[in-house]
């Protein structure tokens, strides 16, 4: 979920650090459970099939890399790229732990994909496209390496209002002076669709998929938030007093979602796809 160009997120989080990679890796099982259906939809819209060659851009620790590799099978191939060698090491470990031998990792900038044109059947990007200052440029780079008729697909967050878990947290951080993260910059359906079209892709579609996060209590939810690098990172840069105030405000706002059976937090993804 990394591999971005210079933008406000970069000032808040060192995506290349091994600490961020390890912290992200600890949340793998819960993340796969939450994001699995959306990932499957992305892979389906990308028409990832047995024997395919798939490029995974901004792959991070490789949750979707593993799912793609399982889909293409031993006759297929998945190349996971990211700017963070630490993230990619964990992606390679996850693939090996899953018994997969069809995954390769390579450190690479998503805005300048140094691969042969027309050399993949599909290219995917899960929860990374919005981190780039020019998402259409990334999609153009992905489009270039896909064969004619091949697919490019990306999974992003929809709006802040439909994702209060992230939206409230980042909204409070911004009010305390943190640099805004562009998590929801592609969150409107027409914005994502237009970005795909701007890249030169055709037959563009955008689909929404809802999810629900469940926590036993507000305390558990806040603990999980503090383990999430891109949500915790901006707040950690505040002074101690402001940091305490920010977390108190986040807890106050999110606690309103708590009921007799714990906390239910809605969320929504958008999946965009287009054809070369």
**CATH for 23:** 3.40.50.150
Has residue 207 been placed in a domain? yes
d(CA 139, CA 246): 35
Q: What is the pLDDT of residue 31?
A: 76
Is 168 part of a structural domain of the chain? no
The list of the chain residues with pLDDT below 50 reads 1-14, 17
Q: Are strands 202-215 and 103-107 parallel, antiparallel or unpaired?
A: unpaired
pLDDT attached to residue 116? 98
**Is residue 91 in a domain?**
yes
231 three-state secondary structure: helix
Q: What is the pLDDT of residues 99-115, one digit of tens each?
A: 999 999 999 999 999 99
Report the DSSP pairing between strands 120-126 and 53-56: parallel
Residue at 224 is within a domain: no
CA–CA separation, 165 vs 171, rounded Å? 10
The pTM (predicted TM-score) of the whole model is: 0.88
pLDDT at position 26, please?
Answer: 56
192 neighbors 201 (Cβ within 8 angstroms): no
Structural domain contains residue 248: no
Domain that holds residue 71: 8-159+181-211+268-275
Tell me how many domains the chain contains.
1
Residue 238 lies in a domain: no
**Would you say residue 189 lies in a domain?**
yes
Q: Which residues of 176-200 are buried (b: 16+ CB within 10 A; e: fewer)?
A: bebebbbbbbbbeeebbbebbeebe
Residue 246 lies in a domain: no
């Amino acid at each position: 979920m990394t591999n971005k160009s210079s933008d406000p997120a970069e000032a808040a989080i060192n995506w290349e650090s091994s600490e961020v990679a390890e912290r992200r890796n600890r949340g793998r099982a819960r993340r796969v459970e939450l994001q699995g259906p959306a990932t499957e939809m992305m892979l389906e819209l990308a028409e990832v099939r047995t024997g395919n060659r798939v490029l995974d851009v901004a792959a991070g620790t490789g949750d979707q890399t593993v799912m793609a590799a399982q889909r293409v099978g031993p006759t297929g191939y998945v190349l996971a790229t990211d700017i963070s060698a630490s993230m990619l090491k964990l992606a390679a470990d996850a693939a090996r732990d899953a018994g997969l031998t069809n995954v390769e990792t390579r450190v690479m900038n998503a805005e300048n994909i140094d691969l042969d044109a027309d050399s993949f059947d599909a290219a995917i990007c899960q929860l990374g496209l919005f981190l780039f200052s020019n998402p259409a440029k990334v999609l153009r780079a992905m489009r270039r390496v896909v064969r004619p008729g091949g697919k490019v697909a990306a999974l992003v967050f929809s709006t802040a209002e439909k994702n209060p878990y992230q939206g409230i947290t980042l909204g409070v951080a911004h009010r305390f002076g943190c640099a805004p993260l562009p998590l929801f910059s592609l969150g409107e359906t027409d914005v994502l669709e237009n970005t795909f079209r701007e890249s030169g892709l055709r037959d563009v579609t955008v689909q929404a998929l809802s999810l629900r996060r469940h926590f036993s209590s507000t305390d558990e939810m806040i603990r999980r938030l503090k383990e999430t690098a891109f949500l915790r990172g901006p707040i950690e840069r505040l002074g101690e007093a402001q940091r305490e105030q920010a977390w108190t405000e986040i807890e106050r706002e999110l606690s309103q979602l708590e009921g007799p059976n714990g906390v239910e937090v809605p969320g929504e993804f958008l999946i965009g796809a287009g054809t070369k």
